Amino acid sequence: MRQFRHRRLTALVALATLLVTAAPPAAASASDRPTHRTGYHRVGYFTQWGIYGRAFPVKKLETSGAASRLTHLNYAFGNVTEDGRCYLDGGPGEGDPWADYQRPVPAEESVDGVADAPGQALNGNFGQLAKLKAKHPDLQVLISLGGWAWSTYFSNAARTDASRKAFVTSCIDLYLKGNLPAAGGSGGPGAAAGVFDGIDLDWEWPNWAGEPGNVVRPEDRENFTKLLAEFRRQLDAYGRTTRTHHPLTAFLPANPAAMDAGFEGRKIFRYLDFATVQGYDFHGGWEAVANQQSALRVPAGSPDNPDFSVEVAINGWIDRGAPRDKLVLGIPYYGRGWTGITGGGNGLFQPATAPAPATFEAGYEDYKQLKNLAGNGFTVHRDLRAGHAWLFDGTTFWTYDDPAVVLQKMLYIRRTGLAGAMIWSLDGDDDNATLTKTISLGLTTF
């Protein structure tokens, strides 16, 4: 029976790969959209900085066909000041308002083919998101606050009733009402009104160490719940003026210890439309052993006990009271890699000397680059039971999600009764949106 299931999965994977890769990249149109939608959320993160080295403007979401297959687009990221406010600033490490709303986007990068004029109230990524929404009116765009680098002062913002009220007010004013700082002719009151529909909180992590320098307090756990309650209260009040529902979501960790330290399990879901769960970074080049970074289940022979996996993360949240229909599984569009592998075999669980060389960051490479390694000196290895794949050339090892793994995870989402899939991040996909189309296929077919 197990062999039959594996053969059936292999056949489905082959079909999925054929369907999502057969057509060349083309502008999205009515005929390019899925024939029907389901209740599954399909959430993609768009990175502010992706327009630079990765050459991934908002337009690529349209030309690749990705936009028509998403329900939510999270813009990464919005920053939080030391005194607990949402803000946009051009200071070192503090933000990039030029990319956000000031940069005149040329015609060849524009969603509608029309170039921005310098000094318009709304240019840059925000202006392109407005154009994308005009083409896809059902697509909801959320500002994602924090992330790994900008969670430094979340604890300050959430600390008291007064700080929570002021923080939430500032976020709604800046992003949902669109009252951007005026600079070089861009911005001003209401300049970005209507671009953002809701708020995504990426506090990494309450009462748990994240990036060095983050403010962490034991009361973060309870204050996170209170912060969600304040967001929900003010978003609903604002929604009564706009006559719409403004979604509130959050990104949650895969580590059970971080779950317990920073989150009040069942309570937080009273206020969230849904939550996305970290389904990646289980292992990486910071360790001295080549391992999986996003396996569906803990692989046999894993050197770590306990270990991380998608199943461990999802079951951890369910055990803590999370409703299945509010959990969205995170899918990585990148791989983690090691080099200097010794020990032979297929490389898995073997010692390594360093993170693998890569385009932007050692040990981290986009799927669109990794897919070209298969057959070019690298062999693809799979563990269908554990649900993960890796590339190995005898020296260098990359763990990543290809269409086969992604499809297997979509079947897991359906079977487990989860709410959908989340993508980190859209700029890691190829120009044909192969992985995004696989997610759509897996959640609307079979």
Beta bridge partners of residue 398, listed in sequence order: 337, 391
Name the DSSP letter for residue 428: G
Tokens of 131: 């154009």
Q: Nearest CA to 310 among 293, 296, 324?
A: 296
Q: Nearest CA to 418 among 283, 311, 307?
A: 311
As to burial, measured by CB atoms within 10 angstroms (0-12 exposed, 13-18 middle, 19+ buried), residue 55 is: exposed
Handedness of CA 56, 62, 67, 73 (dihedral sign): positive
Kindly name the residue from 204, 230, 264, 365 that is annotated as catalytic: 204
Output Rg (C-alpha) for the chain, integer angstroms. 21
8 A C-beta contact, residue 263 and residue 221: yes
Q: Nearest CA to 357 among 292, 424, 282, 285?
A: 285
Q: Nearest CA to 408 among 269, 296, 276, 279?
A: 296
The string of DSSP codes covering 100-162 is IIIS---GGG-TTS-PPPTT-SS-HHHHHHHHHHHH-TT-EEEEEEEETTS-TTHHHHTSSHH
Answer whether the bond into residue 77 is a cis peptide, omega within 30°: yes
Active-site annotation holds for 82: no
3-32 in b/e form (b: 16+ CB < 10 A) is: eeeeeebeebbeebbeebeeeeeeebeeee
As to burial, measured by CB atoms within 10 angstroms (0-12 exposed, 13-18 middle, 19+ buried), residue 87 is: middle
Dist. CA 223–CA 50, nearest whole Å: 32
8 A C-beta contact, residue 105 and residue 124: yes
Q: Nearest CA to 25 among 62, 57, 73, 50?
A: 62
What is the distance, to the nearest Å, from the Cα of residue 231 to the centroid of all Cα atoms in its chain?
21
Residues taking part in catalysis: 204
